[in-house]
Amino acid sequence: MSSSVVVVGSFNVDHVWRCEALPAPGATIAGRYSTGPGGKGFNQAVAASRAGADTHFLCALGDDAGGAMARDLAAQDGFALIAEASAEPTGTAGIYVDARGRNTIVIGPGANAALSTGFLQQQSVLANAKVVLVQLESPVQTIEAALAAAREAGVTTVLNAAPADAPSTIGLLKLADVITPNETEFAALLGRHVGERVDADDVAALDGASLHALCRKLVGNGTVVVTLGAVGVFVSHADENLRGDTQPYYRVGAEQVQAIDTTGAGDAFNGALAASMAQAPEAAFARHVRFANQFAGRSTEKEGAAAAMPRFTPADL
């Protein structure tokens, strides 16, 4: 079976409270509650599918209502979900969203922490994909195995190095053709793997040459896409592989949107980027970034994570 995009990662049941302001330590505040699907992996699979790619999602689920929800929603959205059965409960997340659309999130990994290399080694879809997309809400050795299997088969690999506090290795970074951290994750990777101390709040303000130099220190041969929220996106290529672009580094401005909830915007960007790369592999990389930027912007105009992903394909550009 062939697949354009394979996403390896997490599924969570999201528990969301919407409040005027994010709760401070020791505070008790009122909020409006809702629940629904989430997890970086699932969000990105939904985004890739709604962006037009034939999508497979590899994950681990518990034998519970959350696992049943994941299977039902994947079927409704039209992508294939292949799950390793786990004795652990399906993953959960507690999310607080303020009136400005900002959020804080607490994750309970559950079954996500049990996704195994043995399970992934049985999945032929990894070698048949055009793009394999992973994140770091699953065990790092499992994610590294997924990237290694894809790389061996000549498949393009994309690593969304999120969340920022997740463990990572130099070997993991070397297996990724494209790495997509936000500014917080980028600063964490620099500190962990390069020994460069950069404040996350200062990343967006760095001049292009300086930011490009930091990207090259982090990964010698891969492409780095630093997502910068309302500021936009910074792209850094290795000089020997510009991926169809005409310059080694550049910025793409953010879309002008009426954001009401930024939860899942990074996942929207990553899923759409992978989908665009899979559907038009010969196109310049900047085209994929512009599409992903637009897709992510539209995702913030609705409440929720997976549920907020728009239906919008590269052909609509």
Catalytic residues: 267
Instruction: Give the integer Cα–Cα distance in Å for 277 and 233.
Output: 17
Structure tokens at 4: 């354009």
For the chain, counts of helices (H) and of strands (E): 10, 13
Beta-carbon contacts of residue 5 (< 8 Å; ≥ 6 apart): 45, 48, 53, 54, 55, 56, 129, 130, 131, 132, 133, 271, 274, 275, 278
User: Which residues are registered as beta bridge partners of 83?
Assistant: 59
Q: What is the DSSP string of 249-277?
A: EEEEPPP----S--TTHHHHHHHHHHHHH
Classify 32 as helix, strand or coil: strand
Instruction: Give the integer Cα–Cα distance in Å for 225 and 160.
Output: 9
Task: Give whole-number Cα distances, 59 to 82, 89, 215, 226, in Å.
Answer: 7, 13, 30, 26
CA-based nearest residue to 43, from 70, 16, 4: 70
